[in-house]
C-alpha cells in the first residue's frame, strides 16, 4: 500500500487546480485529505454537510464527489475572489450552496442548523467557536479537521493553538475521535 491516489479525481479538479494556482491561493487541502473527505461523505447517505472554509473549492469538489443525490452541502468562505473560482466550476451542482460570509457571523446566525458531516477548514469551527460548531452536529455526525501537524506556512505561535485544540477535543465527553499522523494531520470525530 502506498499514499498514491489511484482512484478517479472529481471531473473539474484539474481545471480547478490550474485556476487555484493562477489565483495565488496557497491553503488548499492536500490530495490525501481530499480523498478521505470524499470517502467520509459517501458514508452519510442523504446527509446534510457543512464545509467551513471553501477556499477555491478543491476540497468541496471531493466532498461533492462522495455525496449521493439526496445529500446537500453548504460551503462558507469570506473571500469572494476565491469563492468565485469554486462557483465557476461547481455552480451546476444542485446539491451545493456556496455562501460568501464571515464564518463566525454565519455560524452565529445558523447555529440552530444540524449537520451529519462538518469539515472545518478555517478558524471558525476549529480555533474559534468550536463549541458552537460542535453543537451543530447530529448524533453520529462526523467532525473533520486537517492541518494538525506542523505546516511550513504556520505563523509563530500557531503550534501552541493546534496543540491546545487537539487536547480540548480529546478531553470532550461528547466526541469519539481518532488522531491521524498522516497527510497534514487529520482528526476525525464522531458526535455521541
pLDDT tens, 5-63? Answer: 777 888 888 898 889 888 887 777 888 999 999 999 999 999 999 999 999 999 999 99
- pLDDT for 9: 87
| Averaged pLDDT for residues 165-191 | 95
- pLDDT for 23: 86
Residues in the chain: 192
Taken in order 95, 128, 147, 185, the sign of the CA dihedral is: negative
Contact 38, 65 (CB under 8 A): yes
- pLDDT for 131: 97
- pLDDT for 12: 87
Tens digit of pLDDT for each residue in 83-109?
Answer: 999 999 999 999 999 999 999 999 999
Between CA 184 and CA 177 the distance in angstroms is: 17
**Could you identify the residue written with the cell 472554509?**
53
Nearest to 39 by CA among 58, 66, 12: 66
User: Residue 150 has what DSSP assignment?
Assistant: -
Between CA 125 and CA 1 the distance in angstroms is: 33
Between CA 25 and CA 141 the distance in angstroms is: 30
Helical packing angle, 58-66 and 31-42, nearest 10°:
30
* Residue 2 binned pLDDT confidence (cut-offs 50, 70, 90): low
Nearest to 67 by CA among 49, 85, 89: 49
Q: What is the pTM assigned to this prediction?
A: 0.93
- pLDDT for 117: 98
- pLDDT for 151: 82
- pLDDT for 133: 98
In terms of pLDDT, which residue wins out, 114 or 153? Answer: 114
Amino acid at each position: 500500500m502506498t499514499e498514491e491516489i489511484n482512484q478517479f479525481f472529481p471531473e473539474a479538479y484539474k481545471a480547478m487546480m490550474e485556476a487555484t494556482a493562477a489565483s495565488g491561493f496557497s491553503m488548499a487541502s492536500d490530495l490525501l485529505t481530499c480523498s478521505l473527505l470524499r470517502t467520509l461523505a459517501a458514508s452519510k447517505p442523504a446527509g446534510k454537510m457543512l464545509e467551513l472554509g471553501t477556499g477555491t473549492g478543491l476540497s468541496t469538489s471531493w466532498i461533492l464527489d462522495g455525496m449521493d443525490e439526496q445529500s446537500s452541502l453548504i460551503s462558507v468562505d469570506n473571500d469572494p475572489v476565491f469563492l468565485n473560482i469554486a462557483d465557476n466550476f461547481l455552480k451546476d451542482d444542485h446539491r451545493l450552496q456556496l455562501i460568501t460570509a464571515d464564518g463566525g457571523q454565519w455560524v452565529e446566525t445558523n447555529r440552530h442548523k444540524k449537520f451529519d458531516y462538518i469539515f472545518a477548514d478555517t478558524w471558525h469551527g476549529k480555533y474559534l467557536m468550536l463549541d458552537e460548531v460542535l453543537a451543530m452536529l447530529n448524533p453520529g455526525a462526523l467532525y473533520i479537521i486537517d492541518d494538525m501537524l506542523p505546516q511550513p506556512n504556520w505563523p509563530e505561535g500557531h503550534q501552541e493553538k493546534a496543540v491546545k485544540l487537539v487536547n480540548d477535543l480529546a478531553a470532550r465527553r461528547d466526541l469519539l475521535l481518532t488522531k491521524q499522523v498522516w497527510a497534514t494531520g487529520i482528526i476525525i470525530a464522531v458526535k455521541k
